[in-house]
Structures are given as C-alpha cells and as structure tokens.
Amino acid sequence: MAAMFWIQFILVLGAVLIGIRKGGVALGLIGGLGVSVLVLGFRSAPSEPPIAVMLIILAVVTASATLQVAGGLDYLVQLTEKLLRAHPKYVTILAPLCTFFLTVCCGTGHAVYALLPVISDVAIKTKIRPERPMAISSVASQMGITASPVAAAVTFFLGFAAKAGHPVTLIDIISVTMPAGVIGVLAAAAWSFNRGLDLEKDPEFQGRLQDPEFRKGLDADVTTLDKKISTVAKLSVALFFAGVGTIILMASCPWLLPLAADKKPVPMTTVVQFIMLAYGAFILFAAKVKAKDIANSSVFIAGMIAVVSIFGIAWMSDTFISANKKYLVDNIGIMVKMAPWTFAIATFCISAFVKSQAATLAITLPLGLALGLPIPLLLGLMPASYAYFFFAFYPSDLAAINMDRTGTTRIGKYLLNHSFMIPGLIGVGVSTVVAYTISQFIL
C-alpha cells in the first residue's frame, strides 16, 4: 500500500510541476493526463469532476469580462486614482487598501495593472520611496481574492463545501476572509512605512539621477484622470455590484429562494451561476457590448485558463486522494489534527509553485477533508493559499517592478531578497492567523 501511494504521489506531483512549467492551460491538460494514468494504469476509481465549481467560475468570469469591456474597470481605477491623489502622503497605506478592494469588487487581481503606474507616480511626486507602496500594493491585490464574493477561489470553496456535505454560505466565507485580509494588509502596510532609505538619502538612486534620461523619465506624468468615462461604463459598475448584492441578499435570506424538486431551497452554487449570467446580460444590453470583445478580453482569457486548470488539477487530486484516503488518514491525519497549522504551511508551499489560489485550493481542500479537518478550519486557513509572491515571478509583481520608474521595487541579487517577500509574509501570516481565530468563533 505504501509503495503504491508513493508511486502515485510522485506521478501527481510530477504532473503538477510539469503543468506549472508549461504554464497556461497546460496545468489542466496534464491534470487530465494524470487522471487517465491513475484510472487506466492504477485502476483507481475516478472521482467526480468539479463541474459545479467550473460553472460558477465561468459565470462570474463572463460577467466580470463584460464589465471590463463596458469600461467599468476603467471607472473603478479612475475613482481609486482620485482618492490617492487627494491624500498622497498616505499612499503607502491607501494604495494597498485600494488594490485589495479593487480585487474584492472585480474578483480578479489583474485589475491592479492599470493602478500600479499611478501609485508609482503619486509616490515619486510626494518624494516617498515607491517600493513602500508598490510592493505591498501588488501583494494586497492578490490577498483580496479570498475576500471577493466573485473570485474563483471563493466560489470554488463554496462549491467544494456544498459537495462535501458541509455547506457554508457566501456570508460565512466573507465574514472570515474579509476582516482577516484587511488586517493582514494593514499590518504589512504598517511595516512598509519606513522600509528602505528615503530617495534623497539613497546613494544608488542619487547615482542614477546623474543620467539625464533617467531624470526625464521621472518627470513623466502618469494618470487616468484625463480618460473620459462614459455613462454606460458607470452604469455597468452599478449593475455588476447589483448582481453581487443580489447574491449576498439570497445567501442572507434563504427564504427568498424557490424550492427545488427535493423541496429544499435552490443551492447557492446554482444561484451564483444564473444571477451573474443575468447581470452580465444586463451589462451587455445596457452598454451595447460586442460579444466577441468579451471573449477577447484579458479577464475572460485569464478566467478560462483558471477553469481549465481547475478542471484537470482538481479532478486528478481528488481521484488520487480518494484512492489513498485510508493511507493518508492512518499516517498523516493524527499529526494534522494535533497541529492544524501545519496544513496551512503545506497549503502555502503548494501555492508558491501553483500560481493560482483557486488551483491551490483544488489540490489542498480534498486532502484536508480526507484528513478529517472540518470545513470551518479549512476556511480559517484559506488565506494561506496565496504564496506566489515568494519567488516574485507573478505578473503583478513583475509589473510593479517594471512600473516603478525609480528602480527601488526589485528582485535582489539572491533572488529571494526581493521587495515583495516581507510584505507578503506579514500580510499572509497575519491574515491566516486572524482568519483561523475568527472561524473558531463564528462557524
């Protein structure tokens, strides 16, 4: 039994690593190959593919992409810039809070790219070392995913808990992850206030100032305020938030839901799907969005990659865990139950390589359930699913480096001594501890 377990484990781990290296939809395709080998080669019974979760993500991503094409994301970014420029001295704390809530609103961290040049510009003009707000803002934009009611990671957890027979509501999830995320961001921002030397005292920066081209680049203006936002763009934001509000209302008042064939209320996993598709259609008609533009948008493409990745990797992980449940429980279950925080470390380590919180949860949640960890505990450890700042190869981190015109936000000589490491460790560490504590009291 032990030999068979380790052979299958190496197979699954190898599939994940190859998928990560290939990138994009490769994680899903190679995950499907792993299912084939487990079923046909090892004669394991295939688990059920995560259809409900995939449909939720598909519906939410389609609505979010429609919002992007309608100009709604541009409007949200512009509102954020107005706030930052109104209070430039507090950019180190306001910027990460803005990127966090921008992700909460949109369900994707990709919205941060339009804001990073603005954050850098505000910092430069206020003579604040840009590394201070830039690094934590990139980290905060990804921390917001577990607190967003329309993010893939949250909808995956919602669907997984329902399938596992221990359903939690959207309100339950957000009531744990939202305050935990905010406190984690504030803790990391507080540390960032005095990091590094001020620009006028930084010899490396002062040396670069001797280059006329470098000085010219610092004088450039970066703003979204000159971009005209249409009325339909503003309407699209109102409609999108109305959709999110409708879902939260339904989750808070189950008596509003019609009864299904089994005389029970329609499950929230289904409600999220048709509500988000409906409000996406409202935005489509109101803004006269072209359907082909939705399919070509960056939000839609990123979302489809997430769907395919989760399809393959979650199916493979669940099949492997189901086939080896007894071995896992007998050998690892006792240790994890005695020290549940060790499961958070395992989740964090996996996320450092699997650069998606939804995909990380697709791997770890079935394992946690097989080890006998209760759903409230797994929810409390959910913030630990973000660790892809660790190697600073994620697009938002690279964008922050490239958009800091002073060069203070960077990857160090030894690879891991980069600008995002300590803000990331503080933010994720604090938010995980807070989420774990809250989950023990309210669930």
Q: Which residue has the tokens 């305020």?
A: 225
Lowest-confidence region among 72-76, 177-181, 216-220, 307-311: 216-220
What pLDDT does 1 receive? 62
Q: Is the pLDDT of residue 44 over 70?
A: yes
- Comparing 76-90, 137-151, 169-183, 306-320, the range with the smallest average pLDDT is 306-320
* Res 442: pLDDT: 77
Instruction: Give the residue-averaged pLDDT of 39-65.
Output: 86
- How high is the pLDDT of residue 437? 94
* SS3 of residue 136 by DSSP: helix
DSSP state letter for 297 = S
For residue 443, what pLDDT is reported?
A: 66
| Spans of all domains in the chain | 1-440
Quote the mean pLDDT of the chain: 86
* 13 Rama sector, left if φ>0, alpha if ψ -120 to 50, beta otherwise: alpha
Q: With 90 as the cut, is the pLDDT of residue 132 above it?
A: yes
Q: Output the six-digit token pair for 386.
A: 């973000």
Residue 3 has pLDDT above 80, yes or no: yes
Q: Which of 253-257, 376-380, 433-437 has the lowest mean pLDDT?
A: 253-257
Confirm if 131 and 204 have CB atoms less than 8 A apart.
no
Residue 133 in this model has a pLDDT that exceeds 90: yes
**Angle at CA 195, nearest 5°, toward 406 and 101?**
80
Work out the pLDDT band at 333, boundaries 50, 70, 90: low
Per-residue pLDDT for 13 more than 90?
no
Per-residue pLDDT tens digits for 149-160: 888 888 889 888
Mean pLDDT, residues 67-71 taken together: 91
- Output the pLDDT for position 212: 78
- What mean pLDDT is predicted for residues 46-71? 86
pLDDT of 179: 97
| d(C-alpha 92, C-alpha 141), whole Å | 14
The first and second tokens of residue 335, run together, are: 């240790």
Specify the long-range contacts of residues 4-13, CB closer than 8 Å, at least 24 apart. 4/42, 4/324, 5/324, 5/327, 8/38, 8/42, 8/44, 8/320, 8/323, 8/324, 9/320, 9/324, 11/37, 11/38, 12/38, 12/316, 12/317, 12/320
Q: Which of 17, 51, 14, 11 is nearest to 323 (CA)?
A: 11
- The residues, any chain, with a CB within 8 Å of residue 160's CB and separated by 6 or more, are 50, 53, 361, 365, 366
Residue written as tokens 């189901």? 322
- Quick one: how far is CA 403 from the chain centroid? 21
Q: How wide is the angle at C-alpha 197 spanned by C-alphas 193 and 200, nearest 5°?
A: 115
Beta strands in 61-147 (DSSP E): none
Determine the average pLDDT of the residues in 313-321: 84
Instruction: State if pTM tops 0.75.
Output: yes
Q: Is the pLDDT of residue 371 over 80?
A: yes
Average pLDDT over residues 121-136: 91
The token pair at 411 is: 């990857």
| pLDDT score, position 176 | 96
- Specify the DSSP class assigned to residue 42: S
Handedness of CA 392, 393, 397, 401 (dihedral sign): positive
Model confidence pLDDT, tens digit, residues 251-270:
777 788 887 777 777 877 78
| Over residues 111-120, mean pLDDT | 83
> Could you tell me the CA-to-CA distances from 194 to 124, 394, 396, 430 in Å, in that order?
15, 25, 23, 19
